Structure 1
């Protein structure tokens, strides 16, 4: 018998990994007799893929049953694919599981064309389903399944795995090949100890069950051996057990400092030691702030102490850890003014980025159960987003959406954290007012573009253009310093993300006449012109435009910004050296370029040897 497990991902990305299906495949292997009779095939698709093409690929495996992992983003795509399969193979067993199936069995069965659903953890029900099918029995009625008898929902109690470590690792069992993906999803525990009303992470098994540190240690070795570049840790709250979290962070620091990890954490469990451990590895943290109003958060079963939050986040800032916040607009009791205050509160804490979303009233959540009473108007189908509330009318929701988009473009994608507060302050605007003005300006300039459609360079150009628009009148004298800061951090970020070139050896440099070489600027190096001496701006510390302009006089400067040894260096240059680097095209001799600039051969050769040793220039083969 053959079972195809289909995963439909939002789009190609390092997170497009069929982890849930891989867990099911790995668990089936624990029953040797059943595993000898059942073959499990994993198929991956994307939301935009045509249903007919996906169906053809699945049917090419000649399956007896097909299962879908259902999430908010793929409900419609999965239903279309199930319908296409049903048309081609009417007798095919089609089932589904995952968070959406567990949260809303009636709605999923009514609209998806599935024979039955698996509720909660899927391993035990999937094993029983496979055994029933092999025996020629109906898969309905097994533990953790739900189905329709006419219009009546029938279900059996969920049956989670009794001892979580008995679920084989999808990595160590070979169910997932790391070479196929640009990253991996990593599950260190299951469950959630919190019960936020808008979320169903806590549904199913109560509390958190954790995989053993021995297993995590072995999986970490797998990630290192597989040269996995980045890992997304799926735990709802990675640091809820601070001692365990610190142990895992030390394991990562020792053996996988080169892998980029993404964690979801809560601020109240951060202390100075944990902040230093996060800063000691390559990682980014996502903190669910959601709102800065304690009353609004209390209404959805979340506790929030603003002073404690600020104290904990300051520890992350002091350590140098990279973190961002989630914000939700449209929460019950919130308003546009309250949302603006939440943005202002968040940006004052210097997050690396903000992820801002409208509230989604997800079926099966406590919030969905009281949405009508609370006056929450929302979409009836995915993504179930709120369109209006008594305190957040539709026009204000649209305004909040514009501010969120402006923040995505200007602040988050624009990598503005280092300079945003200092540049905005002289304009006498709050961060939310500034972002609102930027969004309005984008609309006037030809329509607000989608953030994902913009290149980093295009966003940089928009930042510069809007600052020119904003710094007028008496504030115009501050504009050159503001643009210098924007330009420097744009080039710094580009250099940080660029792969550093291979450096020549001292011996090869010593045997080389640099003036005879056809050199060119390394792709990773960035040349930049500034209105102020860039070294002065960098040494000034915290950005204060008024103080910068009071302390320093405009003085043109030139610099090369480049990566080396995992760091980014900024070298202030004489204009002649800058022009020399700018003129290297890989076609003409470096000596000829230097001669046209009036540089002596000895001076040019010495500088170019330094530039080659640093990886600023490379030799055209």
Structure 2
């Protein structure tokens, strides 16, 4: 029999850990290795249907999530039409809590509920041996028109699940995110999350984790993204992993973890402050600072403690921090959300994600949807439309604010400009609220924009405000542009580039070996003209970072950047530079 496991990822850079884990476990326990086929939801359904049909499989298993379930169900219908003898199995979080409904509504033969490794292996064995499926725990299936729901599958010991990566297949992960889990389960009961349904937390053994992580370090992969739901819920486990990768650091690999901010202890913080810049990347889900909302969704955030932890992790500028909010939660109206926004924004995260509530099947909020007055889309990803507290027009307004945050905050290309605009509004939320209104009034949300056009939109926005220094903003925009790259094109309203005659003294600076040795040691193998084309030296009438009203020379080194891609900016001694330029 031929078994194929199929994943439809959201993007090409993603990879599916679940089907690889099922593949390896099945091979270990049955001797049969299912084949894997990965696609993206952006590929034509006709192409996927054609390829699966031409494989002539006996069993096709689909890995189902909110981002791919609609496309999978359409493919299931078509696949059954063209190849009715194929047995179709669905698994994953999107089908684990409505398995009977799916079997009744679609030409699906079986649904695996919960984690799938052992269930799929037992299913393969039963099908190979042509015995009854009654003994396959965790399976919901059909006998004619009758639906059968077998007892649930007991949780596996994590060390019994094989490591899914090996030397032969690492090439297929080039330029793709590598996912890894060192634990399953979550000790918290967040009402919007499926992880709260599983009781208890299971951990991989320290020896196994070390062995797995060393594989990634030896292969010098760019990033490993832990899928653990609450990475530091067990302090010893988390700290052991952090210390191991720091002690064996290869100078390249970055590790992304989702952590609980208010439970991170001082010992862990002190250690993390010593880590190599770029070794760790943390995501902290704050979701809201509304106490009534927190109580309703069963969270116990201590925001004051979170703020202290975030400040401590930011102290040495060595860890990338990503903070999250969720709009549409119970008891959170537009103004309450604005307060949550301002609270989190004040922590100055590297990435600030403004997400919207999704009523996941099986979650507590999904069960209490009518009681709480939450209305969401009927199709995946079941995103909130409006609530008792948040009317639809306010949801739309927050959607535009989210777009502005993504464009102007999370891109990290407008830091000085946004910092200045913040001073013209009473709160950060009011800035993005007004910017969103301007954007929509001009119809800018209907088309995409170049980087240069995005700066021009901000400039136009400033021009409509009752206050603001346009010339000051022009120089800030020039600083932001050059902070990320040697800009080849700048908007016409930004102070012009130097004339050929004015550029000559800068050539002289770059042609002084002592200057390059002192300020640009990464460029010592290049001549002056090459350096001029690759680095940037600019004279500003004031300091764009400090606001000090005094002329300064700033040198942008693009071969040294921070975690956000900003060039190293070096302030040069004014007297020395002008003396050299005069000579």
**Cα distance 1:278–1:488, how it changes in 2: closer, same or farther (>3 A)?**
farther
SS in 1 for 2:89: strand
More displaced stretch, 276-285 vs 333-342:
276-285
CA distance in 2, matches of 1:208, 1:419: 45
Q: Which residue in the other structure is 2:54 paired with?
A: 60
Q: Does the Cα contact within 8 Å between 1:25 and 1:175 map onto a contact in 2?
A: no
- How far apart, in 1, do the equivalents of 2:231 and 2:138 lie? 27
Structure-1 separation of matches of 2:314 and 2:174: 35
Contact 1:558–1:578 (CA under 8 A) maintained in structure 2: no
Give the match for residue 521 of structure 2.
none
1:406 counterpart residue number? 404
Say which SS state the counterpart of residue 322 (structure 1) adopts: strand
2:234 matches 1:236: no
| 1:376 to partner: Cα distance | 1.1
Please, which of 72, 75, 92 is the counterpart of residue 69 of structure 2?
Answer: 75
Q: CA contact under 8 A between 2:425 and 2:431: conserved in structure 1? A: no
**Contact 2:70–2:379 (8 Å) recurs in 1:** no
461-470 vs 429-438, which deviates more? 461-470
In structure 1, the partner of 2:482 is 491
**When the two structures are aligned, how many residues end up with a matched partner?**
539
2:262–2:302 contact (8 Å) kept in structure 1: no
In structure 1, distance between residues paired with 2:478 and 2:134: 62
Report the more deviating stretch, 221-230 or 563-572. Answer: 563-572
Structure 1: where are the runs of 5+ without partners?
496-505, 541-547, 580-597, 604-621
* Cα RMSD, aligned residues only: 3.3
Q: Do 2:77 and 2:107's aligned partners in 1 also have CA atoms closer than 8 Å?
A: yes
Query: Matched residue of 1:413: which SS?
Result: coil
Gaps of 5+ in 2: 487-512, 518-523
> Is the partner of 2:337 in helix, strand or coil?
helix
The CA distance in 2 between the partners of 1:104 and 1:417, in whole Å, is 46
Q: Give the superposition deviation at 1:303.
A: 1.1
Q: Does 1:94 align with 2:85?
A: no
Report the counterpart of residue 223 of structure 1 in structure 2.
216
Matches within 5 A, 1:368-383: 368-383=366-381
Residue deviations 1:562-604 (CA, integer Å, cap 9, x gap): 22498943345799x999xxxxxxxxxxxxxxxxxx989xx7x
Partner of 1:213: 206
Q: 395-404 or 253-262: which moved more?
A: 253-262
CA contact (8 A) 1:23 1:168 kept: yes
Structure 2: distance between partners of 1:460 and 1:578: 30
Who is 1:432 aligned against? Answer: 429
CA distance in 2, matches of 1:379, 1:151: 30
Secondary structure of residue in 2 paired with 1:261? strand
| 1:92 CA displacement | 0.6
- Structure 2 length-normalised TM: 0.84
Judged with a 3 Å threshold, the aligned counterparts in structure 2 of structure 1 residues 265 and 566 are, in CA distance, closer, same or farther, namely closer
Alignment match, 2:102: 108
Q: Which residue of 1 aligns with 2:461?
A: 466
* Alignment match, 1:618: none
The alpha carbon displacement at 1:185 in A equals: 0.5
Cα distance in structure 1, aligned partners of 2:330 and 2:9: 30
Q: Deviations over 1:256-311 (max 9, x none)?
A: 34212221111122234433544514232111111111111110111122322222
Secondary structure of residue in 2 paired with 1:439: helix
List per-residue Cα deviations over 1:485-535 (Å, max 9, x = no partner).
Answer: 45434533448xxxxxxxxxx9xx99xxx9x97943577634555332x4x
Question: Does 2:152 match 1:164?
Answer: no
Match status 1:247 vs 2:240: yes
Distance 1:348 1:566, change over 3 A: closer
Deviation at 1:200, TM superposition (A): 0.7
Give the distance between the partners of 1:141 and 1:523, measured in 2 at CA.
70
User: Secondary structure in 2 aligned to 1:45?
Assistant: strand
Q: Post-superposition shift, 1:384?
A: 0.9
TM-score (norm 1): 0.79
Distance change (3 Å), C-alpha of 1:276 and 1:107: farther
Alpha-carbon distance between aligned partners in 2 of 1:4 and 1:447, rounded to the nearest angstrom? 45
Range with bigger deviation, 313-322 or 145-154? 145-154
Deviation by residue 1:472-491 (Cα, 9 ceiling, x = unmatched): 54x32xx5445544543453
| Aligned partner of 1:388 among 370, 386, 389 | 386
